[in-house]
Structure 1
Amino acid sequence: MTHEVINQAPARAGLNEYLINPAMTEAVKRYDAQWATAQLSEVGALVGQADFQRDAELANTNPPVFASHDRWGNRVDAVDFHPAYHRIMGAAISHGAHTSCWSSPRPGAHVARAATFMLFAQIEPGHACPVSMTHAVVPSLKFTPSLASEWLPKVYSRVYDPQLQDPATKTSAIFGMAMTEKQGGSDVRANSTRAVASSDGSWILTGHKWFCSAPQSDAFLVLAQAPGGLSCFLVPRVLPDGSPNVFRIQRLKDKLGNKSNASSEIELDGTVGWLLGEQGRGVRTIIEMVAQTRLDCVLGSAAGMRQAVSEAAWHVRHRSAFGAVLIDQPAMTAVIADLQLEAEAATWMALRLAAAYDDPSAAAFSRLATAVAKYWVCKRGPNHAYEALECLGGNGYTESFPLARRYREQPVMAVWEGSGNVIALDVLRAMAREPESVAAVDQELASALGVYPVYDAHVAATRKLIGQVAADPAAAAGQARRVVEALALGLQSAVLIREAPAAVSDGFVAARLGADRSFEYGSLDAGLDLAGIVARA
């Protein structure tokens, strides 16, 4: 009898992860992407399958392996992946998780692409790195029309081909990025990689990169010092004549999480590249890519929150203790409700941002709001994952369940493309240099006034704080995180007040802005509609 398994949750598989995610389905409809419902439902069913989830596990338990030379001694700089990783990449690319919004523009295209990306990232986040960079490279490529005409058709392709070969013979391409160096990190102006013009119009690069994401990609955007200053270059792994470019992978990074994705250190030594944009305007050129990947960090963190709370809710609906199903016990009800509030706020904020990228007139809003969301949503991810993990008890702490992997994964979104202080200071910089962005965000905050007195008070306090920072720029840096947090909570509250069901907006405003708000998940006012919130998890 002791071998009979009872009171354990069944496998959470065979569910349509799109159709059972009410925040996502409601936001997709609200932001003009209802036309994508059939495709999103197809993706939701795919990622909910047990074999897809098994591939996600295999891609992480069998991480990429680097080989500097082949068995005959030839330098190859190869990164080999488990077949499960390639299956996941192939599925994401074929469903347009990378560039569908660029290749088929229409109202709601960025929202539909964002939702597709989130569904794949919810189950396997590591592959989302090259998918995101391939998406994000599009606006940067357009700075040089000749390079855009050569590479954009390959980037738009729905075919995934991991083989490195002459670009002219490939119909598709995946892009990576290499900006930071060991002596400077986020301070890319300290980069020492040099670029010298060649007689044939190309450039020769010499230097190193401390973090090169997805080194198996077909091509990369790389920053290097040219005679005219820091500039951006397109560097392919294989040259137009089919010969390998000099792209020496020094090692793969042994990371806390993000195990299925290869991150590396590389050396460039007579490496051929092509100037993208203008000399001396490298940051301006690559910042277009950075802005898009920052949005994807928000999408990825929100997707992680959805995975975390849905796994936790599934477990407590199928597990009993002390004479009752866990979800029906008030303490657990409050925890799941609070985790769902966080996930809903992140999802609504993420897709509201994606909608802004569909609207050319919303550029000022997206400039500031993306940085605010990147800071806040990504920082909220790790502790959210931990609390969800704890709902599973000892099971959650084991590698047999996905939340241990998710807990290690969430911090990368906060670190990548600008860690906390870098992003917070960027928010201050945007506020000072682009006052129209402050006005656009304030308009968003104002759109939800008059419903909750506590929200109105928060907006008034936020406006006062912004005024103080503007009046004393010398002291602004010390207040950067405080400003960003106030803006983030305001933006999340505003979108929920306008768009989400009353149970969600009531709960979020009370839990995050109310006078009795708590530092820990699960300390909610019993008068809130906790059952209604939990039902959405």
Structure 2
Amino acid sequence: MLTHEVFNQVPPITPFDASRDPALLTGLHREGAGWAEAGVRELGALAGSERVQEWGRLADEYPPVLHTHDRYGNRVDEVEFHPHWHDLMTVAVEHGLHGAPWADDRTGAHVARAAKFYVWGTADAGHMCPISMTYAAIPALRHNPELAAKYEPLLTARTYDFGLREPSSKAGLIAGMSMTEKQGGSDVRANTTTATPQPDGTYRIVGHKWFTSAPMSDIFLTLAQAPGGLSCFLLPRVLPDGSRNPIRLQRLKDKLGNKSNASSEIEYENATGWPVGAEGAGVKTIIEMVNMTRLDCVIGSSVGMRAAAVRAVHHARHRKTFGAALIDHPAMRNVLADLVIESEAATTVMLRLAGATDRAAADPAEAALRRIALAVTKYWVCKRAAVHAAEALECFGGNGYVEESGMPRLYREAPLMSIWEGSGNIAALDALRAMGTRPETVEAYFAEVSRARGENPHLDHAIDRVGKELADHTDIEYRARRIVELMALVLQGAQLVQHGHRAVADAFCASRLGADWGAAFGTLPTGVDTTAIIERAFV
């Protein structure tokens, strides 16, 4: 016998179309990849389907398990995944989210890949890590043309071929990254792993890595101290003769989020590596990889913000409180609009960065812009993701605090992109370093944001403020975050004023640049067109 009727509960958001995002689709065309819209839409509908959302949930809820030895005591160093992990990886690789843009000479190939990464990321964040590593490994690998010729066709192939076999015998490869050590963290020059040259041109690698991404990958890029200094090496899990490279998986990390993905501590026990780039040029070589992962960090944070905003709006549309739909209460409309504004600003600048990646090889100005804009945007957008997720979760009240809502998973995931490759200080200081050593990056930045001059007085004033901040070198390292935050906000504002929805751009500039904003989301000034803004999060 029922004791009461359950009502006023929000229906599931699935199925939904993750590509139903006006900022994404307009940016896709603006940045030269309109030809990819059909593929983006196909992947977006698949990502939001009940089936694929369940794949992501199960892969996250049942994380990978490390098997160091088999039943007989033999060392195996294998990671077992939930079957849906492999389903997610298969779709990602088949749609070219890994290395495909490097083998595609069409205009906008990197933009198309960014858009697909963005929509598919709503299924599960964890498996996007090895996808990102594979994408990022290719420009670094090109520092050794012989290795690139051997492995690049397999890294760009659209076949997910899981299993421990000699790389050249497989139909497709996944790449990992192994840089971080306990004593150094982001300070990779504190690396103590050693690389001893051998007569055959290989190196013997000995050392301990505290955090190795995707240890089930086929090949890894790693840093080690060679006689000529810190250098980059490629290590396959299986050597050309079919024997296992002695890369020992010691344990998997018990992480805050990103549960579906395996992250490990490893030991190199005289493992065999091939040099990628010259001895002593390890940091210069690996920065190619870092630049690509920075782009994916921005995409990943944008994915999380869009997912959080969409879910908050969906909940508010269907939940009734105090005699009205939650979305109709003025205070809630302020919060929801603010969340959507933050999300659209991230998405819009992300697509601009992907466009710069496409054009950088042929256009020095775009290359210079990409260098500085990636650093400042990685700092700010990735840092905003965590507070954005917290505010979106709060829109659900107690319903958002339980796992079934999906919001705790988003919340746990949110800090990762800011930490990846180095915390906020690393990105902020790198931006200052870029401007100090490459003055053309400053010129490219101001050329970009100045295209929006005259469209919004708050933006114009903020551009002038950036100039004053950069002209003052007093305590500049102490002021690094202040400067880079302002640069990132101005870059976002300039993109929105030129290309965004008018209501979103006006509200962004008035709040973020005009100082008519509080310390929390939901403190937008009066006069904002919240209806037009919130509707952009309907799916």
Report TM bin, short chain.
Answer: over 0.9
Contact (CA 8 Å) 1:387, 1:521: kept in 2 or not?
A: yes
Q: Displacement, 1:180?
A: 1.4
* Corresponding residue of 2:411: 407
Give the match for residue 502 of structure 2: 502
CA shift in 2, pair 1:4/1:154, >3 Å: farther
1:269 counterpart residue number = 269
Alignment partner, residue 380 of structure 2: 376
Alignment partners' CA distance in 1, 2:499 and 2:432: 28
Give the Cα–Cα distance (whole angstroms) in 2 for the partners of residues 378 and 94 of structure 1.
28
* Counterpart residue number, 2:29: 29
- 2:279 is paired with a residue of what secondary structure? coil
Q: Could you tell me which residue of structure 2 aligns to residue 252 of structure 1?
A: 252
**Tell me, which stretches of 5 or more residues in structure 2 are unaligned?**
none
Distance 1:2 1:326, change over 3 A: farther
Match of 2:428 among 413, 424, 429: 424
Alpha-carbon distance between aligned partners in 1 of 2:68 and 2:472, rounded to the nearest angstrom:
55
* 1:122 and 1:300 in contact (8 A); partners too: no
Please give the per-residue CA displacement for 1:211-233, whole angstroms capped at 9, x wherever unaligned.
Answer: 10110100100000111111000
Say whether 1:151 aligns with 2:155.
no
- Distance in 1 (CA, whole Å) between partners of 2:287 and 2:528 is 43
Distance in 2 (CA, whole Å) between partners of 1:516 and 1:480 is: 23
Secondary structure in 2 matching 1:179: strand
Q: What's the TM-score, normalizing by structure 1?
A: 0.98
Which residue identity is paired with 2:71?
R
Alignment correspondent of 1:341: 341
The structural deviation recorded for 1:3 is: 5.5
Give the deviation of 1:30 after TM superposition: 1.1
Letter in 2 for 1:412: L
**How much does 1:105 deviate?**
2.3
Aligned partner letter, 1:216: M
Letter in 1 for 2:467: R
Give me the CA root mean square deviation: 1.0
Shift of the alpha carbon at 1:328?
1.2
Q: Could you list the per-position Cα deviations for residues 221-251 of structure 1 after superposition, in whole angstroms to 9, with x for gaps in the alignment? A: 0000111111000001111111111011111
- The CA deviation string for residues 441-468 of structure 1, in whole angstroms up to 9 with x for no partner, is 0111111111221211111111000011
- 1:464 maps to 468
Compared CA separation, residues 242 and 17, structure 1 to 2 (3 A): same
Q: Answer yes or no: is the 8 Å Cα contact 1:44–1:119 preserved in 2.
A: yes
SS in 2 for 1:271: strand
Where has structure 1 moved over 3 Å in runs of 4 or more? 1-5
CA distance in 1, matches of 2:266, 2:60: 23
C-alpha contact 1:159 1:172 (8 A) present in aligned 2: yes
Deviation at 1:2, TM superposition (A): 4.7
- Structure 1 equivalent of residue 142 of structure 2: 142
CA distance in 2, matches of 1:396, 1:33: 36
Equivalent residues in 2 for 1:14-413, closer than 5 Å: 14-18=15-19, 20-360=20-360, 361=363, 362-413=366-417
Q: Which runs of 5+ in 1 are unaligned?
A: none
Q: Render the CA deviation track for 1:343-363: whole Å, top value 9, x for unaligned.
A: 000000101100001112100
**Structure 1 counterpart SS, 2:442:** helix
TM-score for the superposition, normalised by structure 2: 0.97
TM-superposed deviation, 1:513: 1.4
Question: 1:96·1:113 contact (CA, 8 Å) conserved in 2?
Answer: yes
Amino acid at match of 1:483: I
State whether residues 295 and 374 of structure 2, in contact with CA within 8 Å, keep that contact through their aligned partners in structure 1.
yes
SS at 1:157's partner residue? coil
Q: Does 1:6 align with 2:7?
A: yes
Report SS of the residue matched to 1:238.
Answer: coil
Q: Tell me the SS of whatever aligns to 1:334.
A: helix
2:414 counterpart letter in structure 1: Q
Return the letter of the residue paired with 1:417: E
> What amino acid does structure 2 have at the position aligned with 1:6?
F
Q: How many residues align?
A: 532
Kept in 1, the 8 Å contact 2:151–2:168? The answer is no
Q: CA deviation at 1:100?
A: 2.3
Q: Secondary structure at the match of 1:379?
A: helix
| Contact preservation (8 Å) 1:123, 1:307 | no
- Which secondary structure does the structure 2 equivalent of 1:478 belong to? coil
